[in-house]
Chain A
């Protein structure tokens, strides 16, 4: 009955679509094997025909019921079960509950053979959560299949193990012996899958490596490149968790990488002409860990890495991935100036690329690079400034990372202001907490200006935010404690503290600030209550009262406010009467507000405060009078100590005035004192110099707005204000602004003047230190010698950023730089684009020669210099000459469109010459049917390799 219905349904769409477009792909589609019968297809068709979610639900529910019924029948064949399970998987994919079929999947995996078994496994792996109880049944099957003599059964079981092991250590120990046995299997495919399982085990439970050391070592020297690459990955995993099993790992991996680069591994492992890129990247990652902080290891890598950078063929997308990984490795190992410079040249190409993907990677690479060599960024300042305003969120956020890592003493304020700007950006909500955390870290790290740091905090907390990092308030407190010192000594409070208090009061005026701000401000006010003496107490109290009565504040914050009021009272800043009035108002408001339950904590605290107002305990350090009868002013109790000390070799106490004058001439000591402050003590000599050096009437001048021309050390250089007056005309303001920003951002990063002096049009890729460094004459020392004089040069040059003066002065000197680099960027880029657009003829023939000589030399020849970094993005293939528009009405047609046409040549860019295509076809054209001759030949694809290398294969990798 149901069969008849299915058939009718199935024929409907056929009639329908045939009438419209005929069958779109009846020709030139190769014969393919379809497992699933009509039932499955008609089911899919029905589901896809549904117009609404409800309709789909009824169709699927009906289907699920049918599937369940037929699965439960006893006479159902395995083929049918296969098909029914596929329907279940599809139902699961579109979001329905299919738990009724679970047991049948496991049964099929157990009882089926060949394909049925695979389908059973596939469905189990896809549908069952690894903690599902039914999986225990599957484990039995897996164990049986692992012991089977059938290779395919082994493979499918190993895959299942890999997928199902998630956290269960018991499962690992159950499977481990069987998997270990498979590591010795003669077939590469089985060995590889077993190695994958081991990799997975170690990733989940690194402690197992103790049992596996022998196996792991052997994997690294396996004669099959595929198995070996997984061995390398396992070592990478181990190194990440801090274990090194092989002592000679560095030299071994270096020699493997060298062999790959020389093209001595089988060509079937090439990816678009690049041999074993995945393995190369894994080796680079391992090297990065091995070389980290290890000078000896790093030195053995330098020539190889250099060779790598030079030889890489930059016309494949994969090459960019390799290049990026190499740059990251260079930044991780013990730094080498020459390599870093090479890397920075390449990073610049990435960053200035027109492709977004490469820009993103470039910014990432630059972030890594800047940590080891800050000067490398001077080259791409303007690009970075432009990237900040990039429309793409992803790139923006990466640029923010970059900004964070390039912050230093000089530019930290500009960086922070940029980060705060980013904070107000409505998009990218998820990372705001992290961003705030970073800003705070910056203000703590470069804490030269405490007031500014506090300003930043206030700015962040200006409005209520949902996502604040945990412990923010405590961090701010512990940071501020350094500056807020109680006036136990007679020195007056510094400007810093005065400013901080002033800003706190201002902050309290804001009605919609964060509760964290209220906490911090009330803490500061209570700590520095002595500075608030001049403030009218009723105003202060009404300020606190208003904050207290804000609805959005929670109890802890209100308690903070109350304790602030208490300490103001104790400090004598607020009169008891004023406070009492305010407290009364607060209490009234609390009781009057229609909250559900009265807050007893607050009420208790309010009562305490009121009681305190009744009998104020004023405690003022300045007016504190001690009872003279209780004090021993002669300090007679110390006599014993003093005598004992004097009998030793200690010198007797000498009054300050009698001591030998310090380095500074006392004559000028008064200059540092700010006029107008009351710190002129009764010291007579100071008074003398004061009156002698300046007119008496000048003492009271207000000098706030006047710039200082004379300083302690002499004449101060021109201030920043003057240059801002001589600004460029109006039209250039935009660019000017960006340059200013760049100058401010990049101040303090001492640029290498070398770059700026170079001719603008010269391509840095081609004119680097000797490129013809062939693998036989690798001597990094000779290379190092070349770098050393350069270092000396730069030291002799008056470095522009080396002045210790405040930031503004540096800004001025650096203002010129961006101009130069802007133009170099522009010209270089345009030249590159031109050249990639139409490759010169001679270059083409050159390549042809190379091609015919040796297919492997692709790797060696392209330095990529003449071809700018242009990511030839593999756009979806053209939809055919007169194919469908992007019209929604033609979706059906679009689905028929070939997803991907001409894959073999797809990696090739349009301007690639034909010879390259031929090369790819030669190495990459496989004939599936040709290799289908039988199971035996299938897994012996490396017989050629192993024959060639024979027993030498083993030593080959290790030597």
Chain B
């Protein structure tokens, strides 16, 4: 896998993870093009795209698009399952995950992704093990934080 992007239906980037070294400028350009491309797809179309020499696999979960770029010889269906596994993990961790969870706790989402994928390839396929690893990290941070933050009570108005 070359990179993974999460963006909202309004085209706002929520998470980006690059497994290849591109300068920031190029990353921005690729992101812009891909977001426009994926958003213009109709719901009835298939989730795979050929873009330059890459293949784009995307999937929409509620208001979030998960979009991965893979090499030509990779298995597209498998990538869909990786995305699904990631969503499952987020869901398990956050309770019932929503876009705001990812915005406000993006570092958690990144940690989770790092446990699932390392260097662009699947590392841990066992859901249980990933969650255990994350839980172990959480144990270390308990004390310094306020138990329940403003997020729980705060309504959030989207910017667009």
Residues of A within 8 A of B (CB): 10, 13-14, 16-18, 20-26, 28-38, 40-41, 44-45, 47-51, 79, 86, 89-90, 93-95, 114-115, 118-119, 122, 126, 129-131, 152, 155, 159, 162-163, 166-167, 188-189, 192-193, 196-197, 199-200, 203, 226, 229-230, 233, 268-269, 271, 276-279, 281, 317-318, 320-321, 324-325, 355-357, 359-361, 391-392, 394-395, 397, 430-431, 874, 876-877, 879, 891-892, 894-901, 903, 906, 924, 926, 928, 931-932, 934-935, 938-939, 941
Say yes or no: B125 contacts A229, CB within 8 Å: yes
A sample of 20 more A-B contacts (CB under 8 A), given A163-B119, A361-B76, is: A13-B154, A23-B154, A25-B98, A29-B152, A36-B149, A44-B103, A48-B159, A79-B144, A166-B20, A193-B123, A271-B127, A281-B75, A877-B61, A894-B63, A899-B90, A900-B88, A926-B92, A934-B139, A935-B139, A938-B132
Residue of chain B at shortest CB distance from A934 = B139
If A900-B96, A938-B136 touch, does A271 touch B111 (CB 8 Å cutoff)? no
Report the bound CA distance from A86 to B95 in whole Å. 23
Report the bound CA distance from A876 to B65 in whole Å. 10
A-B contact pairs, 11 of them (CB 8 A): A10-B150, A13-B155, A22-B155, A31-B147, A33-B141, A93-B16, A118-B137, A394-B48, A395-B46, A896-B156, A928-B92
Q: Which of B62, B80, B153, B155 contacts A899 (CB 8 A)?
A: B62
Chain B neighbourhood of A395, CB < 8 A: 46
Q: How many residues on the B side are at the interface (Cβ–Cβ under 8 A)? A: 99
Chain A neighbourhood of B84, CB < 8 A: 317, 874
Chain B neighbourhood of A188, CB < 8 A: 129
Say yes or no: A268 contacts B129, CB within 8 Å: yes
Chain A neighbourhood of B92, CB < 8 A: 903, 926, 928
If A34-B105, A898-B97 touch, does A361 touch B77 (CB 8 Å cutoff)? yes
A51, A200, A281, A394: most-surrounded residue (chain B CB, <10 A): A394
Q: Separation in Å of the A905 CB from the closest CB of chain B?
A: 11
Q: Separation in Å of the B82 CB from the closest CB of chain A?
A: 9
Say yes or no: A938 contacts B153, CB within 8 Å: no
Say yes or no: B111 contacts A879, CB within 8 Å: no
- At the interface, yes or no: B34 with Cβ under 8 Å from chain A? no
Residue of chain A at shortest CB distance from B105 = A34
Say yes or no: B75 contacts A325, CB within 8 Å: yes
Q: Separation in Å of the A627 CB from the closest CB of chain B?
A: 64
Chain B neighbourhood of A41, CB < 8 A: 104, 149-151, 154
If A33-B138, A114-B140, A935-B136 touch, does A321 touch B75 (CB 8 Å cutoff)? yes
- At the interface, yes or no: B36 with Cβ under 8 Å from chain A? no
Report the bound CA distance from A30 to B92 in whole Å. 10
Report the bound CA distance from A51 to B157 in whole Å. 12
Say yes or no: B77 contacts A16, CB within 8 Å: no
Q: Which of B28, B136, B150 contacts A152 (CB 8 A)?
A: B136
Say yes or no: A14 contacts B153, CB within 8 Å: yes
Say yes or no: B150 contacts A38, CB within 8 Å: yes
- At the interface, yes or no: B39 with Cβ under 8 Å from chain A? no
Chain A neighbourhood of B101, CB < 8 A: 899
Residue of chain A at shortest CB distance from B23 = A129
Q: Which residues B47-94 have CB closer than 8 A to chain A?
A: 47-52, 60-64, 75-78, 80-81, 84-85, 87-88, 90-94
If A34-B104, A894-B62 touch, does A118 touch B111 (CB 8 Å cutoff)? yes
Residue of chain A at shortest CB distance from B103 = A44
Give 8 nearest A-B pairs by CB, closest first: A17-B155, A356-B46, A48-B159, A321-B77, A114-B140, A115-B141, A34-B149, A200-B119
Say yes or no: A360 contacts B48, CB within 8 Å: yes
Chain A neighbourhood of B61, CB < 8 A: 876-877, 899-900
Report the bound CA distance from A115 to B108 in whole Å. 11
Say yes or no: A199 contacts B140, CB within 8 Å: no
Say yes or no: B119 contacts A895, CB within 8 Å: no
Q: Which of B44, B121, B133, B157 contacts A48 (CB 8 A)?
A: B157
Report the bound CA distance from A86 to B76 in whole Å. 33
Say yes or no: B99 contacts A903, CB within 8 Å: no
Chain B neighbourhood of A14, CB < 8 A: 150, 153-155
Q: Separation in Å of the B71 CB from the closest CB of chain A?
A: 11
Say yes or no: B142 contacts A357, CB within 8 Å: no
Residue of chain B at shortest CB distance from A894 = B63
Encoded as 1 (CB less than 8 Å from any A CB) or 0, chain B from 101 to 132 comes to 10111111011001000110111111111011
Q: Separation in Å of the A873 CB from the closest CB of chain B?
A: 9
Q: Separation in Å of the A908 CB from the closest CB of chain B?
A: 13
Q: Separation in Å of the A869 CB from the closest CB of chain B?
A: 12
If A131-B21, A901-B96 touch, does A35 touch B107 (CB 8 Å cutoff)? yes
Q: Which of A17, A189, A269 contacts B133 (CB 8 A)?
A: A189
If A41-B150, A129-B24 touch, does A162 touch B94 (CB 8 Å cutoff)? no
Report the bound CA distance from A258 to B136 in whole Å. 34
Say yes or no: B158 contacts A892, CB within 8 Å: yes
Report the bound CA distance from A397 to B16 in whole Å. 28
Chain B neighbourhood of A40, CB < 8 A: 104
Residue of chain A at shortest CB distance from B118 = A196
Say yes or no: A47 contacts B159, CB within 8 Å: yes
If A26-B153, A318-B81, A926-B131 touch, does A159 touch B104 (CB 8 Å cutoff)? no
Say yes or no: B156 contacts A48, CB within 8 Å: yes
Say yes or no: A126 contacts B96, CB within 8 Å: no
If A166-B20, A276-B125, A898-B96 touch, does A23 touch B153 (CB 8 Å cutoff)? yes
Say yes or no: A18 contacts B103, CB within 8 Å: no
Report the bound CA distance from A611 to B83 in whole Å. 73
Report the bound CA distance from A901 to B92 in whole Å. 10
